Amino acid sequence: MIRLENLSKIFNEDTPNETLALRYISLDIKEGDFITIIGSNGAGKTTLFNIISGTYPPTEGRVFIDGQDVTRHPEYKRARYIGRIFQDPLLGTASNMTLEDNMMICYKKGFKGLRISLNHKMKEFFREQLDQLDMDLDNRMKDNVVLLSGGQRQALTLLMMAISKPKLILLDEHTAALDPKNAQIVLALTTHFIREYRFTTMMITHNMSQAIKYGTRLLMMDKGEIILDVEGEEKKDLTVDKLVKKFHEIRKRTFETDEVLLSGRT
């Protein structure tokens, strides 16, 4: 469904700050894959998402979606089929618009070209959807989004994304800025939506046990490369300790002992 071919990205080429952020990455993402991505700071995870979503082009290599070469397609063109959620809850929704207007925009995106108006039936549909989130939002359709908490905003962003029916979902540490309770709620909602709508998903997380627990396939990145790609039984079999050991075997150095990365070690 999505094919990445030999992608590289060099920032600040030919300057003292030159960074090789991605080193010739190739990857086939199959329909229905739920890929979790881990890797230390600066491994190139966000850069990979930026290239998939067209924020900037790769230095070399190509991106295919359903067989079509979209490498040079601008971000706004890809936004129709790629949904992305960032760490910052402020980025997913329009602050000074009401919940219902935000949802309407996404709904229209999911039904390209159709004339749809915010009538009573539509409002009722939105209210039911908000009610399902169980975050006390169903009676706040006329509130501006700016009044919501971070967790409520991420939940709304998830719901809006689900309504717009993207081909691919990119989640870049989308629960990292939330307190543990809300992070858990948003993560549960995330897996609920992915399961219900069978979204093909890539989720970056800094939490190894989360990366192991969720998804159908796990990628580990280091210094611009994918150094591990496991799925199926092999993934089910993973533990934090096994991952740390594998990293050591592959890279011949110790995995960064970041507490969050290692959290959940059993």
Ligand X SMILES: Nc1ncnc2c1ncn2[C@@H]1O[C@H](COP(=O)(O)OP(=O)(O)OP(=O)(O)O)[C@@H](O)[C@H]1O
Give the interface with Mg ion as residue ranges (CB under 5 A).
45-46
**Interface residue with ligand X, options 43, 82, 212, 244 (CB under 6 A):** 43
d(CA 212, CA 151): 23
Q: How far is the CB of 44 from ligand X (least distance, A)?
A: 4
Give the distance from CA 105 to its chain's centroid.
20
**Residue 150 binding: pick among ligand X, Mg ion, none (C-beta 5-8 Å cut-off by kind):** none
- 168-172 and 82-85 strand pairing: parallel
Nearer to Mg ion (CB atom), residue 46 or residue 201: 46
Contact letters (x/-) for ligand X, 46-85, by CB under 6 A?
Answer: xx--------------------------------------
Nearer to ligand X (CB atom), residue 133 or residue 228: 228
Contact letters (x/-) for ligand X, 13-32, by CB under 6 A?
Answer: ------x-x-----------
Give the three-class secondary structure for 28. strand
d(CA 69, CA 160): 27
Outline where the chain has alpha helix (H): 45-53, 75-78, 99-110, 120-133, 150-164, 180-197, 208-213, 232-236, 240-251, 259-262
Give residues in contact with ligand X (CB under 6 A): 11-12, 19, 21, 39, 41-47
